[in-house]
Structure 1
Amino acid sequence: MKKLLLLSIASIFLYAGNLKAQEDNLFYGFDNSFENLSNPDSISLFTGSFAFARIGGENYAGARFQPELNLGKVGVGFDLPIYFNLESGKLYSDEFKNGSGILRLISYVRYGRKKKDPVFIKVGQLRGESLGYGSLLNNYNNSPSFEKRKVGVSYDFRIKKVVGIEGLYSDFNLESFNLFAIRPYVRPFGASGIPVLKTLDFGISYISDKDRTNRFGDDTGINEFLSDGVKAYGFDMGITFINSNFINITGYTHFSKLTKIKSDSLARYHQAIPPTQRYGAGKGMGIGVNANMNVIGNFFRLNSRIERLWYSDNYLPQFFDAHYEINKDAKIVALGDAKNKQGIYGSLTASLMDKVLVGGNLLLPDNVSEETPATMQLNLKTKDLFDKIIIEGYYTKANLVDFGDAFEFDDNSLALIRFAYKISPIIATGVDYKWTWNKQDDGSFKADNSVMPYVALRFQF
């Protein structure tokens, strides 16, 4: 079994630069509030982790460098692993085989801030992505595997505050046309200056995925049921009722459709294992409110969202989510058993003095079952809490039927947990715990964990 256990013994952090993002409408029309609250400023960062690693039963030593540069609206992140086999002396290069290859050296390149600047584009690893008001695509991650990071693009362009287009493409891999999402939108009164009315927003979404990339190095690595692809359509609209320095309230509604997936292999699967009802296209709709509150500058900030959902057979809300890339065939099979349901989607994120940030979201059907499971995500971040303690965490759980299993780490879980203590103003020690997907001896991927203790030197200027 291939298993990556990184025991990191030294890291170097360099912080520089500070620029406040310009805001038009706070968190306007999308549910990525934790990313916004946790990164109110642009900060340049250099991280170097010197480590021993055990990969596939062999020992390696080396370093991983992860500098992040933020200069004004431009941000660039790198990820450069340099590990040498302690017996043969060969450089470990599996991370750069197949797909985007050497492009994985760049974690991301970004210009602007989504929903804050007229021009936003990000190329590289994507996390917490949404389209429109998130009816079809919400909290989407393109790279569930730490080893095999994908290179995609996310963008949002606005012209004269009236028309715009947002979307993403998941993976620049020439083997196939991968997850593609686009949403042109219009604010008919955007340039009018009329309060409230100028924020009225209409959008039309289209999503398709014809992913035929070979993930595992053999025929079993191809998404079998995506031979003819999956398609989805949506329409949404929203309006900001209040937009002040203290509070921002946006109301919205959306309708979406997942078309029937016409795949010969899926039809044969349904013959062998019939779905619980006739399989066809599925539809869903929702109505909700997004609210943001800012008390006394940045002393306390709160973002909350509550949404009522209605959906038909063969439909799962937020189908393209944080777990979609882990096993697309399993998501498609689940559509055949998904029953007509109603439910609630809610999220809540709070920030105290921009030092403690905690939040989460929950997609909860009225009657949770194996056919209609719940999905949960939690986030935690501290920034120099009490000048001594640093804590960060990210946890997501899909296919949740029994809430007693909410914190059981399995194939439906993704997690990153970090604890650190500042020994002095420039020295810290801590440990990282990751539950992610690692490559195995047979080429497949399996949910597994890694523990990375470290000692860090930290300089701010």
Structure 2
Amino acid sequence: MKKTLKISSLLLLVLFLYSGASKAQDNYPSFGFDNSFTNLSNPDSISMFTGAFAFAQIGGENYAGVRFQPDLSFGKVGIGLDVPVYFNLDNGDLYTDEFKNGTGVLRLISYLRYGRKKKDPVYVKLGQLKGESLGYGSLLNNYSNSPSFEKRKAGLSYDIRIKKIFGIEGMYSDFNTQSFNLFAIRPYVRPFGASGIPIIKTLDFGFSCITDKDQTKRFGDNSEINEFLSDGIKAYGLDMGILLLNSGFINLTGYAHYSRLSKVKSDSLAAYHQLTPPTQGYDAGKGTGIGLNANMNVIGNLFRLNTRIERLWYTDNYIPQFFDAMYEVNKDAKIAMLGDVKSQQGIYGSLTASILDKIMVGGNLLLPDNVSESSPATMQLNLRTQDLFDKIIIEGYYTKGNLTKMSDTFKFDSNSLALMRFAYKITPFLVTGVDYRWSWSEQEDGSFKADNSVMPYMALKFQF
């Protein structure tokens, strides 16, 4: 743990020092785009302190206490903490399980951020990762590292641009020292960035490399380690994009990508395939795609829209956006699924709309042309309101993976993750509400189970 903290601190220090030499780059166009609903809807200039007095049921036991959640912003620097002080209602013991195993006390850090992704030349974020993408999202898109709220992971996301030509982005999923976990990196270049030639100067090329040798506990009833990742999984990708149109009303980006999921060669997967032969054989899989991404603004902040549409083609043994919001739930199951995936085509689309910066709704859908158990759909929905009718607060997200039937779209099961928050402002500083959460929670025997929890609360909120 000490070694991990030292490495993280050193990396952050180097990037902070580097940023001082990068101020002259602040106004040049960004490489690629960021469709993360979290990043699009979070203002970075507001500091907030929240202390929520709540009742919670954790692992079948009842707790009551307070959760301190300060969000502090100092220019480009942002710090968010999540400090629970809960007491067991039966025996009075302080709840400490949240800090055991994995990254331990690092879970107190919701995030530590410098800059804003695709906005500033230096962006670094340490903590819980949500809605992460790499490049144009062919391999890693809408990724989140923490399907369990109590056992949140602390990871690292970064994007560094050097002058107008070079850059590097990437992420590391989990600082748990048990293994080398999901690691993604993408160096990119804009060869004509300094030329000043309209449109041509925005052309960029990137190369992605992803590997995962996760040997930590997986989520599930037995909570064993990820057996198929003993020798790791590797993926590679090439992409390119160009800003086709840029005006005060709309900017439009076109892009294309090629990616490859290498064959996983672990002995445990080979043994599994002997018992359950893959219907399509099993080897490396490849995928390609072309798409458009548009951002529109209508009369200032009256209406803002971000939309993306993409056509996909892929071979046997390939799943588009393999590293997604549900990847962390059961990596072995997703790897095993590759052997049954048939060559086909599909569509990916996303849409996020903001009205008066008060209401923001969004969603995305990955939809194969022929949906099946081996090629399921994945869907996400998001909602956030800011001082709606001055009193009402509504927030939420819903993720559904392995979707094969329309009737199962809103069925809560092991392929679902959700949070809904309804709150009412009694005064400008006092809020009462309830959180409904569907996520993976640790049970008394140490296993994990997808289950719901309801937490009523009374909170003090101070904005400064």
TM > 0.5 fold call:
yes
Contact 1:24/1:117 (<8 A) preserved: no
Between the aligned partners of 1:201 and 1:126, the Cα distance in structure 2 is: 25
Matched, 1:99 2:70: no
Matched, 1:133 2:132: no
The aligned residue for residue 116 of structure 1 is 119
Equivalent residue letter for 1:170: S
In the TM superposition, residue 48 of structure 1 has moved relative to its aligned partner by 1.2
Question: Which is worse superposed, 236-245 or 448-457?
Answer: 448-457
Contact 2:71/2:78 (<8 A) preserved: yes
Question: Which is worse superposed, 439-448 or 108-117?
Answer: 439-448
The aligned residue for residue 267 of structure 2 is 264
In the TM superposition, residue 161 of structure 1 has moved relative to its aligned partner by 1.4
List aligned pairs for 1:250-329, cutoff 5 A.
250-329=253-332
Matched, 1:406 2:409: yes
Using a 3 Å threshold, how does the CA distance of structure 1 residues 33 and 94 change in structure 2: closer, same or farther? closer
Using a 3 Å threshold, how does the CA distance of structure 1 residues 349 and 400 change in structure 2: closer, same or farther? same
List aligned pairs for 1:370-409, cutoff 5 A.
370-409=373-412
Matched, 1:80 2:83: yes
Question: Which is worse superposed, 243-252 or 127-136?
Answer: 243-252
Gaps of 5+ in 1: 1-21
Between the aligned partners of 1:285 and 1:407, the Cα distance in structure 2 is: 30
Between the aligned partners of 1:85 and 1:455, the Cα distance in structure 2 is: 18
Matched, 1:210 2:213: yes
Contact 2:204/2:240 (<8 A) preserved: yes
Between the aligned partners of 1:442 and 1:217, the Cα distance in structure 2 is: 12
Contact 1:438/1:447 (<8 A) preserved: yes
The aligned residue for residue 21 of structure 2 is none
Equivalent residue letter for 2:109: I
Using a 3 Å threshold, how does the CA distance of structure 1 residues 54 and 398 change in structure 2: closer, same or farther? closer
TM-score in terms of structure 2 length: 0.91
Using a 3 Å threshold, how does the CA distance of structure 1 residues 218 and 128 change in structure 2: closer, same or farther? closer
Equivalent position SS for 2:339: helix
Using a 3 Å threshold, how does the CA distance of structure 1 residues 343 and 54 change in structure 2: closer, same or farther? closer
Between the aligned partners of 2:182 and 2:287, the Cα distance in structure 1 is: 20
Contact 2:50/2:462 (<8 A) preserved: no
Equivalent position SS for 1:266: helix
Equivalent residue letter for 2:288: M
Using a 3 Å threshold, how does the CA distance of structure 1 residues 390 and 53 change in structure 2: closer, same or farther? closer
Between the aligned partners of 1:156 and 1:332, the Cα distance in structure 2 is: 28
Between the aligned partners of 2:401 and 2:28, the Cα distance in structure 1 is: 34
Residue from 42, 53, 58 that aligns with 2:56: 53
In the TM superposition, residue 144 of structure 1 has moved relative to its aligned partner by 0.6
Question: Which is worse superposed, 306-315 or 447-456?
Answer: 447-456
The aligned residue for residue 160 of structure 1 is 163
In the TM superposition, residue 84 of structure 1 has moved relative to its aligned partner by 2.7
The aligned residue for residue 195 of structure 1 is 198
Contact 2:53/2:458 (<8 A) preserved: no
Equivalent residue letter for 2:362: G
Contact 1:130/1:139 (<8 A) preserved: yes
In the TM superposition, residue 419 of structure 1 has moved relative to its aligned partner by 1.4
Contact 1:30/1:131 (<8 A) preserved: no
Between the aligned partners of 1:427 and 1:178, the Cα distance in structure 2 is: 41
Equivalent residue letter for 2:330: N
Runs ≥4 in structure 1, deviation > 4 angstroms?
215-220
Residue from 346, 349, 370 that aligns with 1:346: 349
Contact 1:31/1:134 (<8 A) preserved: no
Using a 3 Å threshold, how does the CA distance of structure 1 residues 380 and 36 change in structure 2: closer, same or farther? same
The aligned residue for residue 334 of structure 2 is 331
Deviations 1:142-196 (A, max 9, x none): 0110011111100000000110000000001111100000000000111222211
Matched, 1:233 2:250: no
Between the aligned partners of 1:299 and 1:220, the Cα distance in structure 2 is: 48
Equivalent position SS for 1:252: strand
In the TM superposition, residue 220 of structure 1 has moved relative to its aligned partner by 4.9
Contact 1:108/1:124 (<8 A) preserved: yes
Matched, 1:221 2:224: yes
In the TM superposition, residue 218 of structure 1 has moved relative to its aligned partner by 12
Contact 1:216/1:443 (<8 A) preserved: no
In the TM superposition, residue 91 of structure 1 has moved relative to its aligned partner by 2.3
Using a 3 Å threshold, how does the CA distance of structure 1 residues 65 and 187 change in structure 2: closer, same or farther? same
Between the aligned partners of 2:275 and 2:223, the Cα distance in structure 1 is: 19
Equivalent position SS for 2:390: coil
The aligned residue for residue 71 of structure 2 is 68
Contact 1:37/1:357 (<8 A) preserved: no
Using a 3 Å threshold, how does the CA distance of structure 1 residues 182 and 257 change in structure 2: closer, same or farther? same
Between the aligned partners of 2:401 and 2:278, the Cα distance in structure 1 is: 21
Question: Which is worse superposed, 194-203 or 53-62?
Answer: 53-62
Question: What RMSD over aligned residues (CA atoms) do the two structures have, in Å?
Answer: 1.9
Contact 2:182/2:211 (<8 A) preserved: yes
Equivalent residue letter for 2:234: K
Matched, 1:441 2:441: no
- Greater strand share, structure number: 1
Using a 3 Å threshold, how does the CA distance of structure 1 residues 427 and 107 change in structure 2: closer, same or farther? closer
Using a 3 Å threshold, how does the CA distance of structure 1 residues 425 and 80 change in structure 2: closer, same or farther? closer
Percent identity of equivalent pairs? 76
